[in-house]
């Protein structure tokens, strides 16, 4: 992986981590199209640069983290389902991460569902936030588990989970971002540990790639979050649905034509 490739992957991560289009799916697609070898370090890199995206959430919502303690128990409850499933089915999840076909189908089906979300959860522009309960956090956490399938989108799953609990769009999106902090931090730490435990080592070039990737992901995610909350509140999910359908359909067509989109 070159510095330029690392920057491009980090831009993809920053743009898509908090949008309902699947950052993992887009990084898999990006890596494949750039011909980046799917070795252990590259797989670790696509997880580790999420740390930069995590920092963007902490910066934007620092008051939630440092002015009150009430959010922490909710984040713990929301994190538990993903932690259990991630530890139990890690090997199966890792195999899915290398399958572009799975990404394509998940993007397509998710996009079709997105076209109906605004009707299922109507928004009159006058939503009022209410205190988030432990049951809300648990339900959202269970929805987050679905996002372990690449192409589903963690932010999409958790936002929809919040909407099923009758949270406002803005509140569901913001809690989704907050829940990303323990979830992505744990995923990064676990991936780093597994890499070292399997005998992996870090060269100065590796640390340079990590540094560049995280800085770029932080800056891009900072801008993406601020824009997404306002857009979602006003316009809903339909545009993201059409985008997912277009990308998913294109990938399926390319696969049907015999194009090699497998991780090399």
Share of the chain above pLDDT 70, in %: 93
Q: Is-contact 49 9, C-beta < 8 A? A: yes
Q: Does residue 115 come out as left (phi exceeding 0), alpha (psi in the -120 to 50 range) or beta?
A: alpha
pLDDT of residue 263: 45
Q: Would you say residue 34 has pLDDT above 80?
A: yes
- Which segments within the chain are labelled E, that is strand? none
Please provide the distance, in angstroms rounded to a whole number, between the alpha carbons at the two ends of the chain.
12
Q: Band the pLDDT of 7: cuts 50, 70, 90.
A: very high
Segment 92-109 mean pLDDT: 81
The rounded distance, in Å, linking the Cα atoms of 196 and 217 is: 23
Place of tokens 């990064």: 188
pLDDT of residue 264: 38
Q: Would you say residue 255 has pLDDT above 90?
A: no
Segment 129-137 mean pLDDT: 88
Q: Would you say residue 138 has pLDDT above 90?
A: yes
pLDDT of residue 128: 65
Sequence-ordered list of residues with C-beta below 8 angstroms from that of 219, at least 6 positions apart, any chain: 14, 56
- pTM comes to 0.83
The rounded distance, in Å, linking the Cα atoms of 187 and 80 is: 13
pLDDT tens-digit map of 171-228: 888 899 899 889 888 888 888 888 898 888 889 999 999 999 999 999 999 888 878 8
The rounded distance, in Å, linking the Cα atoms of 10 and 45 is: 9
pLDDT of residue 218: 94
Q: Would you say residue 125 has pLDDT above 60?
A: no
Lowest mean pLDDT among 8-22, 32-46, 106-120, 143-157: 32-46
3-class state of residue 121 by DSSP: coil
CB atoms within 10 A of CB 74: 21
Higher pLDDT, 12 or 125: 12
Q: Band the pLDDT of 75: cuts 50, 70, 90.
A: very high
Higher pLDDT, 95 or 59: 59
Segment 254-259 mean pLDDT: 79
């Amino acid at each position: 992986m070159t510095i330029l490739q690392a920057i491009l992957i980090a831009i993809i991560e920053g743009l898509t981590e908090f949008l309902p289009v699947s950052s993992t799916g887009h990084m898999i697609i990006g890596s494949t199209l750039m011909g980046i070898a799917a070795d252990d370090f590259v797989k670790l890199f696509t997880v580790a640069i999420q740390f930069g995206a995590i920092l963007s959430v902490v910066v934007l919502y620092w008051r939630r983290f440092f002015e009150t303690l009430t959010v922490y128990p909710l984040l713990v409850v929301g994190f538990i389902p993903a932690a259990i499933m991630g530890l139990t089915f890690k090997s199966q999840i890792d195999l899915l991460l290398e399958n572009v076909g799975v990404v394509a189908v998940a993007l397509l089906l998710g996009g079709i569902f997105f076209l109906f979300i605004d009707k299922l959860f109507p928004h009159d522009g006058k939503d009022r936030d209410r205190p988030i309960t432990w049951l809300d956090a648990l339900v959202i956490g269970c929805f987050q588990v679905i996002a372990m399938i690449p192409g589903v989108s963690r932010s999409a799953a958790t936002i929809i989970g919040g909407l099923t609990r009758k949270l406002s769009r803005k509140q569901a999106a913001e809690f989704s971002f907050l829940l990303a902090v323990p979830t992505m931090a744990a995923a990064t730490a676990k991936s780093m540990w597994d890499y070292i435990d399997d005998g992996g080592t870090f060269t100065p070039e590796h640390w340079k790639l990590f540094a560049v990737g995280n800085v770029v992901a932080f800056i891009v995610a900072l801008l993406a979050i601020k824009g997404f909350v306002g857009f979602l509140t006003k316009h809903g999910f339909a545009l993201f649905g059409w985008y997912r359908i277009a990308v998913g359909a294109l990938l399926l067509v390319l696969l049907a034509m015999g194009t090699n989109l497998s991780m090399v």
